[in-house]
Structure 1
Amino acid sequence: MMKFICVYVVILLASISLCHADGFKIKGKISGGGEGVKVFLTDLSQYRHFYDSTTIKNGEFEFNGKVESPEMRCITIYKNDSQRGEWKSTVKLPIFVDNSSMTLEAPYDSLPTKSSKTVPGCIKITGSPANDLYMKYDKGLEPLSTLNSTLFEKYRVAYYYAKADELGRKNMQPAYDALEELENCKDEIYRYKVKFIQENSDSPVALYVAGTLAITKYGRGEINKVLALLSEPLRNSPKGKALEKRLNSIPVYVGDQYLDIDMLDKEGNTVNLSDVINPGQYTLLEIWASWCGPCRGDIPHLKDAYSAYHAKGFDIVSVSIDANKEQWKKALEQEQMAWLQVCDKGEGFDGFIVKKYGISGVPSSFLIDPQGKIILTNARGGWLDTKLIELFEK
């Protein structure tokens, strides 16, 4: 009996070794088209990392490799190779890869693209426990993601196409109601993800999900709460440590003090942000550029907010990231904004304020309270309106 058990253990260990030591295999079986089309194994961004490429031959393709630990990757196909990145013709199929043998079965025309909201049910991926768990997570997230998109569109239409009465006054309440629903949905998405992490604390999928949390809204103290949900081995793994480092390195969380920075006024003199933010007032830090259409398009809204609330304790400081200072000055002449205008000492997205505040685009806005704490990081449109109403009208 003991001899039988020993032989069984040896066989079991050998099978585990074969499964994991030799890495992963992804076998694709594509029906209904795609013959000769190139297939790429990328990261989820589809541009930072291209791990491998192959071609569909006789309806099949194959990737082989090895990962140190299970991780998210993506099957990428450019159906229109001359327009790579075009949403409707770029296949984007997330796949959680571990060192196992995986099979993907899919009709070519049903492969999800960047514009797809969901992965069709006819797409079958088998062989990876990590991917099975990820697909379960994604399926549960799907209705919330769909609702989030629906509510954002509802808000967008109500806000930007609000009807005016006979006196020209727009009824913005439907937009604000839609925005409240949208924010509640975002909170529900956050709670769903946190619950998933908690229930799968030792899975690398939970670590991946933790990295997708929109955490800055909830304050810097949320970092340790999220990390504590992960098992100790996962938290102390290289990827767990990398996540901790990334979360802590995000420059701005709600509740943080604003970050001081040197800027230039219209005459080229150095101005500190701390010199122009008045204690006791609410200040909107507006980061923009003269060449940015949405920035210029939002100026009338900022003028309305400034006019309505400046006397009550609301101020704006606009910081341009224009590399061409003359173009910035020309825009100031055209727009005639009544509040303080300064410019970053750097140039464009290589400038100092972009790096200091960790922004990835303009316009970007931060609302600062009388004590110098950032209380809103997406201070635009209805988000700014409802916060100002809360602060000054209730």
Structure 2
Amino acid sequence: MKTNSWLRVGLLTLSLCLALPAVAQRKKGSKHSTARKATPRKPKAGNYLILGTAPDDANGKQAYLFGDGQAALDSTMIKDGKFYFERPVDKSLIVARILVPQSYYLLVIPEEGTINAPVDKEAASGTPLNDLYAKLKQEDEALVAPYRDRLKALRTDASLSDEAKEEAYEKIVTELNGIQRPRLLARLTEHPSDAIGYHALQSLLALGDVEAARAEAYAAIATEEIRNSEPIAKQLSALRRQEATKAGAQFIDFTGVDDANQTVSLSDYVGKGHYVLVDFWASWCGPCRREISHLKEVRDAYSDKGLVILGAAVWDEMEDHLKAMKDLEITWPQIVNKNEATELYGIQGIPQIILFDPEGKIVARDLRGKAIDNKLNEILSKTEGKL
């Protein structure tokens, strides 16, 4: 599967190290403590004790402990560079995360014992799985670092066109994937029921060239508990949706609002007798904004041949969207749909540009830059110059 934006460079290299789930924000009203007794020397039987340390700039701030859900499991204030959490081991909690908002983040594996958690370091330690995770993370970082440097140099290389950069980017990522895949697969096979295998599976599913069938095969190696965890389930769902919306599939409708806050649906444009190019984008997305200039060229070159361009504003707020529309001088219609559109099409990175044919079938996904022109010109050569 072709990667579809420079935005995903950082996400990809991060996932290749041992993918970290997104930090969830604490919901209002979640229960947490703010006062503590003296730090215990060791945990009670069946508990895990997290002994946290933090730099001086974190003193007086709250440290939160998150699981896979949205609400914080616990919180406490950092004092004199120290804090702690002690909780019963919960078999359904595969990993936990310590968050000091806008400052520090650390993943921990909540297994029985004492876990040393320096929030300004790369990994926790003190128990078997946390020690192993730290070792593997260090190994993976050493492997990934040269590729990350190559990607960074490529991104800033002014001598290359965007098309040449995209081609070189794909080669580097493919090379790295080829090295990482067997390592991660061996790790998953060796640890199908614990946090090490959980992260190996997350990383395998995030490699970028994994189709649904291969993803299902990877997931089958893990235990049911791992497969059903929220992050893994979401990754698998996205890959299944990508499979269901690949080239040749009929479009799946969704509804949102236009820039005047009036109800509008994808079916108002797609399947109406013209080719429709749909740009899934957001105002905050740098690569999305850069792609707009090329879409204007596409509009000017192909609109009179029948092409319709439609924006699908996702993961965005209306106020920010409208400002971007004005700043970027975008003239084509929009559907603002915050989450459903990306879920239906299994979109994990933007911009994602999809071309639909006059009957509503998907012609191609992951179109960017000159690839859009090439695809449209290919179609025009077979349709007597009509889109």
TM-score (norm 2): 0.62
Is the Cα–Cα contact under 8 Å of residues 151 and 182 in structure 1 kept in the other structure? Answer: no
Residue matched to 2:354: 367
**Aligned counterparts of 2:347 and 2:323: Cα–Cα separation in 1:** 20
**Aligned counterparts of 1:36 and 1:373: Cα–Cα separation in 2:** 54
Q: Deviations over 1:215-268 (max 9, x none)?
A: 6742222332111222xxx32x3x532356434433732563342235678997
Equivalent of residue 97 in structure 2, options 74, 79, 84 = 74
Is the Cα–Cα contact under 8 Å of residues 290 and 331 in structure 1 kept in the other structure? Answer: no
Shift of 1:386: 5.7
> What SS is found at the alignment partner of 1:209?
helix
Equivalent of residue 53 in structure 1, options 70, 73, 76 = 76
**Aligned counterparts of 1:27 and 1:269: Cα–Cα separation in 2:** 52
Is the Cα–Cα contact under 8 Å of residues 47 and 112 in structure 2 kept in the other structure? Answer: yes
**Aligned counterparts of 1:220 and 1:275: Cα–Cα separation in 2:** 29
**Aligned counterparts of 2:329 and 2:57: Cα–Cα separation in 1:** 53
**Aligned counterparts of 1:319 and 1:43: Cα–Cα separation in 2:** 32
For residues 191-270 of structure 1, what are the structure 2 equivalents within 5 Å?
191-212=182-203, 213-214=205-206, 217-230=209-222, 234-235=223-224, 237=225, 239-243=226-230, 245-250=233-238, 252-254=241-243, 256=245, 257=249, 258-262=251-255
- Aligned sequence identity (%): 16
Residue matched to 1:63: 85
For residues 306-325 of structure 1, what are the structure 2 equivalents within 5 Å?
316-320=309-313, 323=318
Q: Does 2:145 match 1:155?
A: no
Shift of 1:149: 3.0
**Aligned counterparts of 1:56 and 1:366: Cα–Cα separation in 2:** 49
Q: Does 2:104 match 1:91?
A: yes
Q: Does 2:125 match 1:125?
A: yes
Shift of 1:369: 7.1
Shift of 1:385: 4.1
Shift of 1:367: 3.1
Shift of 1:124: 7.0
Structure 1 residues 44, 138: closer, same or farther in 2, change over 3 A? Answer: farther
Is the Cα–Cα contact under 8 Å of residues 49 and 86 in structure 2 kept in the other structure? Answer: yes
Structure 1 residues 33, 248: closer, same or farther in 2, change over 3 A? Answer: closer
Is the Cα–Cα contact under 8 Å of residues 73 and 96 in structure 1 kept in the other structure? Answer: yes
Shift of 1:100: 1.6
Residue matched to 1:273: 267
Structure 1 residues 330, 203: closer, same or farther in 2, change over 3 A? Answer: closer
**Aligned counterparts of 1:38 and 1:265: Cα–Cα separation in 2:** 42
Shift of 1:65: 0.9
Is the Cα–Cα contact under 8 Å of residues 264 and 342 in structure 1 kept in the other structure? Answer: no
**Aligned counterparts of 1:129 and 1:374: Cα–Cα separation in 2:** 50
> What SS is found at the alignment partner of 1:201?
coil
Is the Cα–Cα contact under 8 Å of residues 277 and 309 in structure 2 kept in the other structure? Answer: yes
Equivalent of residue 294 in structure 2, options 298, 301, 304 = 301
**Aligned counterparts of 1:261 and 1:171: Cα–Cα separation in 2:** 32
**Matched letter for residue 85 of structure 2:** F
Structure 1 residues 374, 303: closer, same or farther in 2, change over 3 A? Answer: same
Shift of 1:208: 3.6
**Matched letter for residue 131 of structure 1:** N
> What SS is found at the alignment partner of 1:349?
coil
Structure 1 residues 42, 374: closer, same or farther in 2, change over 3 A? Answer: farther
Is the Cα–Cα contact under 8 Å of residues 237 and 346 in structure 2 kept in the other structure? Answer: no
Residue matched to 1:143: 142
Q: Which runs of 5+ in 1 are unaligned?
A: 1-17, 78-83, 113-118, 164-169
Residue matched to 1:22: 46
Structure 1 residues 342, 304: closer, same or farther in 2, change over 3 A? Answer: closer
Residue matched to 1:353: 341
Structure 1 residues 46, 162: closer, same or farther in 2, change over 3 A? Answer: farther
> What SS is found at the alignment partner of 1:125?
coil
Is the Cα–Cα contact under 8 Å of residues 74 and 92 in structure 1 kept in the other structure? Answer: yes
Shift of 1:270: 5.4
**Matched letter for residue 227 of structure 2:** G
**Aligned counterparts of 1:372 and 1:194: Cα–Cα separation in 2:** 35
Query: Higher Cα Rg: structure 1 or 2?
Result: 1
Is the Cα–Cα contact under 8 Å of residues 287 and 365 in structure 1 kept in the other structure? Answer: yes
Shift of 1:50: 5.2
> What SS is found at the alignment partner of 2:212?
coil
Is the Cα–Cα contact under 8 Å of residues 27 and 102 in structure 1 kept in the other structure? Answer: yes
Shift of 1:206: 0.6
Is the Cα–Cα contact under 8 Å of residues 124 and 130 in structure 2 kept in the other structure? Answer: no
For the aligned residue pairs, the C-alpha RMSD in angstroms reads: 4.9
Equivalent of residue 182 in structure 1, options 173, 178, 183 = 173
